[in-house]
């Protein structure tokens, strides 16, 4: 591919043969000072986040808050209906008999936490996102969800240069090199 | 390379001795497959021309399902009198079927969540189908308590919604806990299943054309597998596994509370929650095998993924949980005698030798005796033998719930004793629920990747960045024939 600059370039893409090659390429791209790049793999690869220097996902914090919201909702739901809105003695127990509400508290904790895990993941990942420039690349389109390990250095990276970046990726062992159109 | 590690039907080779005296990891995927083959194999089930048996099988299950629909319409339009329930047995087949189906669901969640947390990598080949089975079983389960309320149009009273009477559901009732437990279980199972499906739907999207591409693409949400996406995705997946683990244990616990929080002899025991959970896992694994043994025979290409090792593992779990269930039966009987409560004692005497003695002994024979074959490797590794045993276990687990529910027929006062016999509507409703179950399962295997493609890839040796390891000091690994890399067993680290 001649590295002529396309009108709007999203970035430079390269495919790697093995997961080990991809990880090593990611490490070197990072070492070269690039900051805006990402690896695309058909399955999660152990050690990729480490190679990229990523921090841990912040999702667990969201889920903790979501779960606690569920617990609080259950206490309020059971308490307000059983002790405030229509207090009625059942089986000689106090109106606010929290022991009997434990199963509901547990279930709503799990329910709210699970919804938070789903929607939190989608929000953090900006999904659904039906259009993304990488899909314009024909190799990516056929192999990214199959057996292709891709590395894309984005054009918004300050170090990005269409020719130099592609050459660098080729040097790292990248194949099917190309520029991705926006 | 050890030839024992590959080839289906060969001697198991769960752990392959290595030249350096160590042991490899168990072989998870058989045959000389590379990552690409996994996509082709699993997507092939959907992409290949529909097998000739599929449409007839779907039609038969649709017909059986229509029997269930007819019975429900007849029940709702006529009244619960069409069932055999009456005093003193006011809980009949509906509750038996409910507990039976909900229990079956448990194996799916155990495989998908608990085995995930325990890093049992073999689960990846079977978790998708098992989770799907969970959803379908819970759908079957949910129907019965729904229609069993009698006045079906008042079923929304179970939900805490404001109504004209200004009253609320009784949150101190085990039956209401059950509503919350089962609906939460179903919702969380759907979420967990769907999150697991997203990368595979993206795979199907990229392989299909036309409307199928649009449909898979819509549900794949534009998944592109970037490192950033995987990071949050994996966090979500492990969190959902951690949430589902206590949830699955709680569901049958709460189901058992329906019985255990009453004062009926034979029900009012503390052994019920663990006993129900063990039984649920036992019955659920039986149903997983009942489905997977024919599935892998009908799609022989899947035999490298759903291997005999998987079936053997499940047979071991059935043996273990079957013994737990047997222990519970024995302990219930022992406590009835040792507790010296005459009503409790009579309940167990009556179960064993009363009008329903045959149900009690069918339960013992199917659930405790039949899994004992799994002590022998020869039986554990014979798929169709396992299948026949699981049929017995399915029957036995249904009878277990029948025995428990039928405890109602003789309680404290002999003057209020009675008997319960199901009507044809009861029988056909149970029969019809199997139609619904198989109908949904057949649709699933035709249109959804039946094996978690991305997850299976991630456990293959080729996926491990250290597989082609440089300088790990394992001569065995670096001198391996490159053509056979993907079948090579993962090495147990001993550095």
Residue B465 is predicted with a pLDDT of: 83
Query: In this structure, is residue B18 part of a structural domain?
Result: no
B299-316 average pLDDT score: 93
Chain A contact for B240 (CB, 8 A cutoff): yes
- The answer, yes or no, to whether residue B24 has pLDDT greater than 70, is no
Query: In this structure, is residue B62 part of a structural domain?
Result: yes
- Cα B390 → chain centroid: 12
Q: Structure tokens of A90?
A: 């059942």
Residue B345 is predicted with a pLDDT of: 94
Within A48-175, residue ranges assigned H as helices are 48-52, 59-79, 98-124, 138-143, 162-171
Least confident piece of the model among B2-6, B132-136, B335-339, B439-443: B2-6
Question: B422 CA to chain A: closest CA distance, Å?
Answer: 33
Residue B338 is predicted with a pLDDT of: 95
Helix (H, G, I), strand (E, B), or coil: what is residue A178?
strand
B367-372 average pLDDT score: 96
- The answer, yes or no, to whether residue B473 has pLDDT greater than 90, is no
- The answer, yes or no, to whether residue B371 has pLDDT greater than 70, is yes
The residue range of the domain holding B258 is: 34-459
The model's pLDDT over B424-456, given as tens digits with 9 standing for 90+, comes to 999 999 999 999 999 999 999 999 999 999 999
Residue B307 is predicted with a pLDDT of: 92
B412-430 average pLDDT score: 94
Per the CB < 8 Å rule, is B458 touching A132? no
- The answer, yes or no, to whether residue B368 has pLDDT greater than 80, is yes
B76-96 average pLDDT score: 92
Q: Which of A43, A48, A44 is nearest to A22 (CA)?
A: A48
Whether A11 contacts A153, CB under 8 Å: yes
B392-408 average pLDDT score: 95
CATH classification number, A9-53+133-181, choose in 3.40.50, 3.30.420, 3.30.70, 3.40.630: 3.30.70
Within B79-173, residue ranges assigned H as helices are 93-109, 115-117, 127-148
Query: In this structure, is residue B490 part of a structural domain?
Result: no
Q: At B163, is the pLDDT very low, low, confident or very high (cuts 50, 70, 90)?
A: confident
Chain B contact for A57 (CB, 8 A cutoff): yes
Segment of A177-181, B383-387, B491-495 carrying the highest mean pLDDT: B383-387
Q: Which of A56, A100, A120 sits opposite B172 (nearest CB)?
A: A100
User: Which domain CATH number covers B145?
Assistant: 1.20.1630.10
Per the CB < 8 Å rule, is A103 touching B232? no
Query: In this structure, is residue B11 part of a structural domain?
Result: no
Least confident piece of the model among B55-64, B187-196, B388-397, B483-492: B483-492
The model's pLDDT over B150-159, given as tens digits with 9 standing for 90+, comes to 788 888 888 8
Per the CB < 8 Å rule, is B225 touching A85? no
Helices then strands, counting H and E runs in chain A, come out as 6, 4
pTM of the model: 0.89
Per the CB < 8 Å rule, is A23 touching B465? yes
A69-92 average pLDDT score: 93
Chain B contact for A56 (CB, 8 A cutoff): yes
B116-133 average pLDDT score: 92
The model's pLDDT over B30-68, given as tens digits with 9 standing for 90+, comes to 877 888 899 999 999 999 999 999 999 999 999 999 999
Mark which residues 358-377 of B lie under 8 Å from A by CB: none
Q: Which long-range contacts (CB under 8 A, 24 or more apart) does B114-120 make?
A: B114/B241, B114/B245, B114/B248, B116/B237, B116/B238, B116/B241, B117/B238, B117/B241, B117/B242, B117/B245
Interface probe, candidates B239, B251, B261, B461, chain A, greatest A C-beta count within 10 A: B239
Q: What percent of chain B has pLDDT over 70?
A: 89
B17-24 average pLDDT score: 56
B91-115 average pLDDT score: 92
Residue B149 is predicted with a pLDDT of: 84
Every domain of chain A with CATH number 3.30.70 lies at 9-53+133-181
Residue A46 is predicted with a pLDDT of: 86
- The answer, yes or no, to whether residue B477 has pLDDT greater than 50, is no
Phi, psi of A123 (to 5 degrees): -70, -45
B403-426 average pLDDT score: 93
- The answer, yes or no, to whether residue B486 has pLDDT greater than 60, is no
A23-46 average pLDDT score: 93
The model's pLDDT over A139-175, given as tens digits with 9 standing for 90+, comes to 998 999 999 999 999 999 999 999 999 999 999 999 9
Bridge partners of B491? B24
- Indicate the number of domains in chain B: 1
Per the CB < 8 Å rule, is B187 touching A52? no
Q: At B26, is the pLDDT very low, low, confident or very high (cuts 50, 70, 90)?
A: low
Q: Which of A49, A110, A122 sits opposite B184 (nearest CB)?
A: A110
Q: At B11, is the pLDDT very low, low, confident or very high (cuts 50, 70, 90)?
A: very low
Query: In this structure, is residue B375 part of a structural domain?
Result: yes
Q: At B493, is the pLDDT very low, low, confident or very high (cuts 50, 70, 90)?
A: very low
A113-123 average pLDDT score: 97
């Amino acid at each position: 591919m001649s590295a002529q600059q396309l009108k709007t370039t999203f970035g430079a893409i390269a495919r790697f043969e093995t997961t080990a090659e991809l990880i090593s390429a990611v490490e070197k791209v990072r070492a070269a000072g690039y900051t805006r790049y990402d690896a695309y793999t058909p399955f999660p690869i152990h050690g990729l986040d480490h190679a990229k220097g990523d921090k841990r996902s912040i999702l667990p914090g969201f889920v903790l808050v979501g779960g606690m919201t569920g617990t609080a909702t259950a206490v309020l739901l059971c308490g307000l209906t059983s002790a405030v809105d229509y207090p009625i003695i059942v089986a000689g127990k106090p109106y606010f008999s929290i022991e009997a509400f434990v199963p509901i508290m547990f279930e709503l904790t799990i329910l709210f936490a699970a919804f938070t895990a789903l929607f939190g993941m989608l929000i953090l990942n900006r999904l659904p996102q039906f259009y993304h420039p990488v899909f314009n690349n024909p190799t990516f389109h056929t192999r990214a969800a199959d057996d292709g390990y891709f590395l894309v250095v984005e054009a918004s990276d300050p170090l990005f240069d269409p020719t130099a970046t592609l050459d660098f990726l080729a040097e790292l062992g990248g194949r099917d090199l190309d520029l991705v159109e926006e | 390379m050890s030839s024992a590690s590959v080839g289906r039907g060969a001697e198991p080779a769960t752990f392959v001795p290595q030249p350096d005296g160590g042991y490899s990891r168990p072989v998870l995927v058989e045959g000389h497959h590379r990552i690409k083959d996994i996509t082709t194999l699993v997507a092939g089930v959907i992409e290949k021309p529909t097998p000739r048996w599929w449409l007839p099988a779907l039609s038969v299950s649709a017909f059986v399902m229509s029997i269930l629909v007819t019975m429900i319409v007849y029940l709702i339009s006529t009244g619960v009198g069409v069932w055999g329930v009456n005093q003193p047995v006011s809980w009949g087949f509906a509750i038996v079927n409910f507990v039976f189906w909900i229990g079956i669901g448990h194996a799916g969640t155990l495989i998908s969540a608990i085995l995930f947390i325990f890093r049992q990598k073999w689960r990846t080949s079977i978790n998708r189908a098992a989770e799907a089975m969970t959803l379908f079983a819970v759908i079957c389960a949910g129907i019965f308590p729904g229609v069993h309320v009698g006045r079906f149009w008042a079923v929304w009273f179970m939900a805490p919604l404001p109504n004209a009477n200004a009253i609320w559901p009784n949150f101190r009732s085990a039956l209401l806990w059950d509503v919350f437990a089962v609906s939460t279980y179903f919702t969380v199972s759907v979420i967990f299943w769907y999150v697991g499906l997203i990368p595979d739907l993206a795979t199907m999207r990229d392989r299909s054309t036309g409307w199928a591409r649009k449909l898979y693409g819509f549900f794949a949400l534009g998944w592109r597998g970037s490192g950033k996406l995987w990071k949050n995705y994996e966090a979500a997946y492990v969190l959902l596994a951690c949430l589902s683990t206590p949830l699955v244990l709680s569901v049958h616990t709460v189901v058992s509370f329906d019985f255990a929080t009453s004062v009926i002899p034979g029900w009012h025991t503390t052994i019920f929650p663990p006993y129900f959970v063990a039984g649920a896992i036992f019955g659920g694994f039986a149903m997983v095998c009942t489905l997977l043994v024919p599935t892998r025979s009908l799609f022989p290409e899947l035999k490298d993924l759903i291997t005999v090792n998987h079936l053997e593992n499940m047979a071991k779990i059935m043996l273990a949980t079957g013994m737990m269930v047997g222990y519970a039966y024995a302990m219930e009987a022992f406590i009835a005698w040792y507790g010296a409560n005459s009503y409790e004692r009579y309940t167990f005497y009556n179960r064993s030798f009363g009008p329903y003695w045959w149900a009690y002994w069918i339960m013992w024979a199917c659930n405790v005796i039949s899994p004992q074959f799994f002590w022998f490797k020869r039986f554990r590794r014979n798929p169709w033998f396992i299948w026949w045993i699981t049929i017995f276990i399915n029957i036995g687990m249904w009878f277990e719930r029948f025995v428990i529910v039928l405890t109602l027929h003789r309680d404290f006062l002999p003057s209020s004793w009675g008997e319960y016999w199901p009507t044809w509507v009861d029988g056909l409703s149970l029969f019809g629920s199997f139609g619904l179950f198989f109908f949904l399962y057949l649709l699933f295997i035709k249109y959804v990747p039946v094996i978690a493609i991305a997850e299976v890839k991630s456990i293959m040796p080729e996926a491990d960045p250290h597989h082609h390891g440089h300088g790990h000091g394992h001569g065995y690994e670096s001198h391996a024939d490159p053509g056979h890399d993907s079948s090579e067993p993962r090495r147990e680290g001993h550095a």
